[in-house]
């Protein structure tokens, strides 16, 4: 962002009450009963994200009836850890645009973040109904990958998050239905293919449909065009037997990011293969960290809460 734009954005930030950046605060409660406290970014990242939020707030204030402006304001709030505020913005938008699938898609995502899976499922099911029979569309990135090329689409994200909400809620049969639908729109590129394949594979294994799970792995190769979902790719290679769990995640050397991005797949592999001790060790390491918004973190919470019980 040019310096003059950044200065303007920061000036706007100080003038807009909704965009004012609060200190850390509790956003919700984990599945294990612990407070979910937001950790606002610091340094250059904080300046950049607050500037982005200020610009989004200014666009929204210019036209509060705009669905696009509403979506971006919600997304920018969420990037700063203000998930409840983001949900409030999406809710206001839905009152004005009750048939806008993007608003339900994004609100559903943030309901997952705050562990309110029933509300997430309702929103994402509604979004899936609203896009039925319509052409898919690329979803613009709020945090672009290094290549600056968006990889996900509206419909693939709707089904991905709906399947995830069911999975986290322990509704594996419904998760399977969602991921089957999601796979129809996830073959647009290898990033979406591996993201949907990972959760589809784990869902099938939870249902003891192991032969079908192996079929999911057939398109997975060591060399794929992956720009942002390297963790999913590595996990699928592990499921396929091309990598070992220790090569994907070494608990003695892994940092917090590696533990949360790779840990759930590794722990899940141990769990499904009957090694409950190792599975619990990995899941407990995941939830001892601070990356509570990550889906693997939430899934580890869900499995620990269920006592590592597999249907």
Q: Where are the domains of the chain?
A: 43-98, 108-138+150-221+230-243, 244-311
pLDDT band at 22 (very low <50, low <70, confident <90, very high): low
Q: Which fold has domain 43-98?
A: 1.25.40
CB atoms within 10 A of CB 98: 11
Q: Is 291 exposed, middle or buried (0-12, 13-18, 19+ CB in 10 A)?
A: middle
Q: Does domain 108-138+150-221+230-243 have CATH number 1.10.3720.10?
A: no
pTM: 0.91
Q: For residue 251, is pLDDT > 90?
A: no
Bridge partners (DSSP) listed for residue 153: 138
Q: For residue 256, is pLDDT > 90?
A: no
| Count of H-run helices and E-run strands, the chain | 15, 2
Q: For residue 14, is pLDDT > 80?
A: no
Q: For residue 27, is pLDDT > 70?
A: yes
pLDDT digits (tens, 9 = 90+) for 89-127: 999 999 999 999 999 999 999 999 999 999 999 999 999
pLDDT digits (tens, 9 = 90+) for 171-204: 999 999 999 999 999 999 999 999 999 999 999 9
**In whole angstroms, how far apart are CA 40 and each of 34, 37, 43?**
18, 10, 10
Structure tokens at 99: 């048939």
**In whole angstroms, how far apart are CA 292 and each of 106, 115, 196?**
18, 10, 21
CB atoms within 10 A of CB 300: 29
Measured CA to CA, the distance from residue 178 to residue 203 in angstroms comes to 10
Measured CA to CA, the distance from residue 298 to residue 301 in angstroms comes to 5
Structure tokens at 311: 């249907």
pLDDT digits (tens, 9 = 90+) for 34-79: 999 998 888 999 999 999 999 999 999 999 999 999 999 999 999 9
Q: Give the E-state strand segments of the chain in sequence order.
A: 26-29, 35-37
């Amino acid at each position: 962002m040019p310096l003059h734009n950044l200065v303007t954005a920061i000036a706007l930030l100080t003038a807009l009450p909704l965009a004012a950046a609060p200190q850390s605060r509790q956003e919700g409660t984990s599945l294990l009963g612990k407070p979910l406290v937001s950790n606002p970014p610091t340094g250059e990242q904080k300046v950049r994200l607050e500037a982005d939020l200020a610009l989004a707030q200014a666009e929204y204030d210019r036209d509060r009836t705009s669905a696009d402006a509403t979506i971006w304001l919600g997304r920018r709030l969420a990037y700063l850890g203000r998930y409840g505020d983001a949900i409030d913005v999406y809710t206001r938008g839905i009152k004005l645009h009750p048939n806008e699938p993007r608003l339900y898609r994004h609100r559903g995502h943030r309901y997952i973040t705050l562990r309110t899976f029933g509300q997430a499922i309702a929103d994402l099911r509604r979004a899936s109904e609203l896009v039925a029979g319509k052409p898919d569309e690329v979803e613009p990135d709020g945090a672009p990958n290094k290549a600056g090329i968006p990889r996900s689409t509206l419909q693939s994200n709707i089904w991905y998050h709906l399947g995830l909400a069911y999975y986290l809620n322990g509704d594996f049969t419904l998760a399977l239905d969602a991921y089957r639908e999601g796979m129809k729109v996830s073959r647009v590129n290898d990033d979406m293919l591996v993201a949907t394949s990972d959760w589809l594979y784990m869902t099938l294994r939870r249902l003891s449909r192991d032969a079908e799970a192996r079929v999911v792995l057939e398109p997975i190769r060591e060399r794929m065009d992956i720009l942002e979902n390297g963790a999913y790719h590595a996990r699928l290679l592990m499921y396929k037997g091309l990598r070992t769990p220790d090569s994907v995640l070494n608990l003695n050397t892994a940092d917090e990011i590696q533990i949360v991005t790779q840990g759930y797949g590794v722990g899940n592999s141990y769990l499904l293969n009957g090694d409950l001790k190792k599975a619990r060790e990995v899941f407990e390491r995941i939830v001892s960290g601070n990356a509570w918004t990550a889906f693997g973190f939430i899934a580890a919470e869900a499995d620990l809460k269920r006592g590592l019980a597999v249907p």
